Amino acid sequence: MRRNLAGVPCSALKYANRKPQMTSQSTMQSASFRVPTHPDRTAKIVLLGEAAVGKSSLAARFVRNEFLPTQESTIGAAFLSHTVSTAAGSVKLEIWDTAGQERYRSLAPMYYRGAVAALVVYDITSAESLKRSQSWIQELRRNGCNALIALLGNKCDLAEKRVVPQQQGQEIAAEEGAMFYETSAKNGDNVETVFRAVAERIIAEDRAPAARPTGGEPPGARKGSGVKPGKKTQEKKSCPCAK
């Protein structure tokens, strides 16, 4: 199957559930670093995890510095991008925010394939979501995906409802050779830290290629749009890599 530059089959590029446009360079950049017009590298990263653990909320906090208490469940996947500047260079993170609902489960491989980093999210108030995050990590390994993995225990602001001790998440991450953070998309705890740490590792380990000369989003992608596979659409036909 022919794919666009983000590794997504063109047949998946039907957009639904349109949301407000996002800026590709957010206000979340560190004051000490200016976001460059032409980042040095481009890296595909993917957010995985059970439904409602806060994947979209983490992405929205990182890219737009906002939190929606009534964040809608993602349909298919959403795409966002944001450039992180570090002392060692800049990297444009092309973020695929997958849908956690079971009915979209079979789509996940096309989003994690080719990803240089996977943020696997669970909710610290749900033991089930931690189990699910372990299955995601195992699936990535089983499929030979050698992406950098970060295990994130989200909703750490809900201390009174916590059922997953921080140490448990930490131990699982250590066993899996993954980075580990507890985060809160709601109050922003550790959100920029996670993405920045991932960007720094991507640069340090030379995991991402130099940025495409023309820049911009993968063909067919729309910032902040839900991506829903389905029947043929005009957009599919016009995709430059469609058969």
Count of all residues that appear for the chain in the document: 243
Rounded CA separation 94/64 (Å):
14
Considering all CA atoms of the chain, what is the largest pairwise distance in Å, rounded to the nearest integer?
A: 53
Binding string, 107-146, against ligand GTP, x = CB under 6 A?
----------------------------------------
At a CB cut-off of 8 Å and minimum separation 6, what does 110 contact? 7, 8, 9, 12
Give the burial class of 170: count Cβ atoms within 10 A of its Cβ; 0-12 exposed, 13-18 middle, 19 or more buried.
middle
Stretch that binds ligand GTP, among 25-33, 107-115, 150-158, 194-202 (CB under 6 A): 150-158
Q: Should residue 169 be labelled a site residue for ligand GTP when binding is judged by CB under 6 A? A: no
Residue range at the interface with ligand GTP (CB under 6 A); choices 97-105, 106-114, 133-141, 220-228 = 97-105
188 makes contact, choosing from ligand GTP, Mg ion, none, with CB < 5 to 8 Å by partner type, with none
- CA angle (129 as vertex; 105, 188 as ends), nearest 5: 105
Which of 17, 71, 86, 134 is the binder for ligand GTP (CB under 6 A)?
71
- Contact pattern for ligand GTP over residues 20 through 59, marking x by CB under 6 A: -----------------------------x-xxxxxxx--
